[in-house]
Amino acid sequence: MKIPSGTVAGIPEGFKELCFSTGDAALNYVVGPDNGLPLLLIPGQMESWQGYKRVLPELSRRFQIFAPDLRGHGKSTWTPGRYSYNICGNDLRNFMAEVIGRPAIVAGLSSGGVLAIWLAANAPGNVLAVVAEDPPIFSSVWPRIQKEKFLVRNFENAVEILGRPGPRDLEGYFSEMGIPVKGKPDIMKIPGFIVKAIFLLYRLNRKLRPQRPYDAPLLPFNIRAGFKFLSEYDTDFSRATIDGDLSKDFDPEETLKRVKCPMLLMRVPATRDENWGILGAIDDNDLERITSLVPDLRCVQIAGGHEIHVMQPRKYIEELTRFVEGLRLQKAVA
């Protein structure tokens, strides 16, 4: 299996970029050739469809891929004040009915994983199976999120730094990124000289290759793609997460109880910090709750970064395809 290094610019061979109207928003999306079961890929918060570019070629050999930008992301419509799991879920339910037009495997990262679960619960006839990639289905929900200080810090930085009037201050945002250190009250931030080096390459590339502004040489795909995602998303989505609008009228336990199709949970083990709360998306208690609520659940634990399909594309492809092949053997999927 050959995994491409990935470019942010361009559309993969055989794919088309199109637009779907939900009525109050236009969703940008890509669709691949019809090589099998439909597979809906739902990006996470602060991610557009390009986040899946390293896995699209291989997955497209087995599936027909549909990958949208959620409202407020990428080329899709910004709708400040109208971001919630229910609103975005209804967007995707209509997308599945009108664009895909047949039952599909539904996979999503982070908040996209929560939306994949939402679809299984609220559009069961359209969902064959779910692949939930490290979904913060309890930790992102208000009022609990108020206690998860590390998550809140990251969303607040997005709102306060990226949401300022004028050009997006990506360098300022990166300068505030960091991780908690056990026993210390402060965040360990990315060293300033590293941030400056990254943005020197970024600015030089934008000047020399304006047609490929994000694909700065020497930088890994996740950073290059991050430049695009952070430049194009509506920070009100992050505000909605903090304030509870995102999870308004959304009950995670009731939603999980209504998932009757097979579900694969890809979990990156999370820890807890006494000052900052959860470091990750799903702690051990969350995992126990999910396991107790979903009857047909498979769980794989994958050490590393939250964005498995970005950071470990080979592992992501292997686990997703193994899951679907297992369902075919059980005749759960035609």
pLDDT of residue 183: 78
Strand order in the sheet with 104-109: 16-21, 26-31, 63-68, 37-42, 104-109, 127-133, 263-267, 297-301
Please give the C-alpha separations between residue 202 and each of 47, 190, 195, 223, 225, in angstroms, as whole numbers: 19, 17, 10, 10, 12
**Phi and psi at residue 266, in whole multiples of 5°?**
-95, 110
- As a whole-number percent, the residues of the chain with pLDDT over 70 amount to 99
* pLDDT tens by residue, 228-263: 999 999 999 999 999 999 999 999 999 999 999 999
Fold adopted by 16-146+244-329: Rossmann fold (3.40.50)
Tokens for 216, please give them.
Answer: 């700065």
Tokens for 250, please give them.
Answer: 């959304």
* pLDDT tens by residue, 298-330: 999 999 999 999 999 999 999 999 999 998 777
pLDDT of residue 244: 97
- As a whole-number percent, the residues of the chain with pLDDT over 90 amount to 94
pLDDT of residue 57: 96
pLDDT of residue 5: 82
pLDDT of residue 91: 98
Please give the mean pLDDT across all residues of the chain.
Answer: 96
pLDDT of residue 86: 98
The pLDDT-based confidence of 4 (bands split at 50, 70, 90) is confident
Bridge partners of 323, per DSSP, are none
pLDDT of residue 299: 98
Is the separation of the CB atoms in 215 and 8 below 8 Å?
yes
Q: How many C-beta neighbours within 10 Å does residue 212 have?
A: 15
pLDDT of residue 333: 61
Q: Is the pLDDT of residue 334 over 60?
A: no
* pLDDT tens by residue, 262-276: 999 999 999 999 999
What span, in angstroms and rounded, lies between the C-alpha atoms of 294 and 290? 6
pLDDT of residue 97: 98
What span, in angstroms and rounded, lies between the C-alpha atoms of 119 and 124? 7
pLDDT of residue 325: 94
* pLDDT tens by residue, 196-219: 999 999 999 999 999 999 999 999
